């Protein structure tokens, strides 16, 4: 499906990202997406099957870039806390620097706008973090609770801080980020 002219493919994804963020899925018609990408509406259908496919592909692409960021510089041989710290700060960085992408993910995750199939595909990237937690639990450093809880109390709160945007992005700034990390670590460490 994806042809040699990646320019248009990418422009379409970018336009979709912007419009869905600003107006919501319900007010991001194909015609507007095409216009913003400087492309004919018909052209969209050369690269994507339909609107759902366009959204799905954007979701998967962003999820992938998110994961790539998350494990940047991470090595599974690091001690548990150090490893967790690396990943957590990476994610905080991503939220702070890739605001559009992060907002889009939030919208997808709280809305029935993504195929179940795409959703699953987006999830499978987190395995290294789950492995790290398992190791931490074996070593008695991390509480013996479900992965869901661990995620809910460490990574997920970052989404809220992002959503509060104007008033709260400061919470993720270099110098005040320590407090946030401390909360995260305190909530899971034994």
Which residues of the shown chain bind DNA in the complex (CB under 7 A)? 1-5, 8, 27-31, 39-46, 50-52
Q: Minimum CB separation from DNA for residue 47, in Å?
A: 7
Calpha distance 181→158 (Å, rounded): 10
Choices 8-16, 19-27, 68-76, 125-133; region in contact with a second copy by CB under 8 A: 19-27
Task: Single out the residue of 120, 168, 173, 174 in contact with a second copy (rule: CB under 8 A).
Answer: 168
- 5's contact among DNA, a second copy, none, with CB below 5 to 8 A by partner kind, is DNA
**Three-state SS across 43-87?**
HHHHHCCCHHHHHHHHHHHHHHHHHHHHCCCCCCCCCHHHHHHHH
Closest alpha carbon to 54 in 124, 123, 120, 113: 113
Which of 21, 56, 67, 90 is in the footprint of a second copy by CB under 8 A? 21
Q: Is 24 in the site for a second copy (CB under 8 A)?
A: yes
Tokens describing residue 37: 């990408």
121 lies in the site for a second copy, by CB under 8 A: no
Nearest-CA neighbor of 109 among 159, 184, 69, 50? Answer: 159
The residues facing 142 across adjacent strands are: 189
Token pair belonging to 2: 């994806």
Residue 44 binds which of DNA, a second copy, none (CB < 5-8 A, kind-dependent): DNA
Torsions phi, psi of 71, nearest 5?
A: -105, 20
Q: CB under 8 Å to 156, separation ≥6 — which residues? A: none
Which residues ranging from 47 to 106 are in contact with a second copy (CB under 8 A)? 106
Nearer to a second copy, 72 or 179 (CB): 179
Q: Closer to a second copy by CB, 73 or 175: give it.
A: 175
Does residue number 120 form part of the binding site for a second copy (CB under 8 A)?
no
Q: Phi first, then psi: give them for residue 189, nearest 5 degrees.
A: -70, 155
Residues in contact with a second copy by CB under 8 A are: 21-27, 106-107, 109-113, 143, 145-146, 148-149, 151-153, 156-161, 163-164, 167-168, 171, 179-180, 182-184, 186-189
């Amino acid at each position: 499906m994806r042809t040699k002219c990646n320019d248009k493919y990418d422009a379409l994804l970018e336009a979709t990202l912007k419009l869905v963020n600003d107006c919501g899925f319900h007010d991001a018609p194909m015609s507007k997406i095409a216009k913003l990408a400087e492309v004919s509406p018909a052209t969209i259908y050369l690269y994507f099957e339909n609107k759902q496919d366009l959204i799905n592909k954007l979701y998967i692409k962003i999820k992938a870039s998110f994961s790539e960021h998350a494990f940047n510089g991470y090595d599974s041989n690091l001690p548990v806390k150090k490893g967790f710290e690396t990943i957590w700060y990476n994610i905080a960085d991503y939220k702070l620097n890739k605001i559009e992408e992060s907002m889009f993910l939030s919208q997808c995750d709280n809305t029935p706008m993504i195929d179940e199939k795409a959703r699953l595909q987006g999830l499978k990237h987190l395995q290294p973090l789950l492995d790290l937690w398992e190791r931490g639990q074996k070593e008695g450093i991390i509480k013996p609770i479900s992965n869901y809880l661990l995620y809910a109390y460490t990574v997920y709160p970052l989404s809220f801080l992002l959503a509060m945007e104007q008033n709260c992005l400061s919470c993720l700034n270099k110098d005040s980020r320590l407090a946030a990390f401390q909360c995260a670590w305190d909530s899971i460490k034994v």
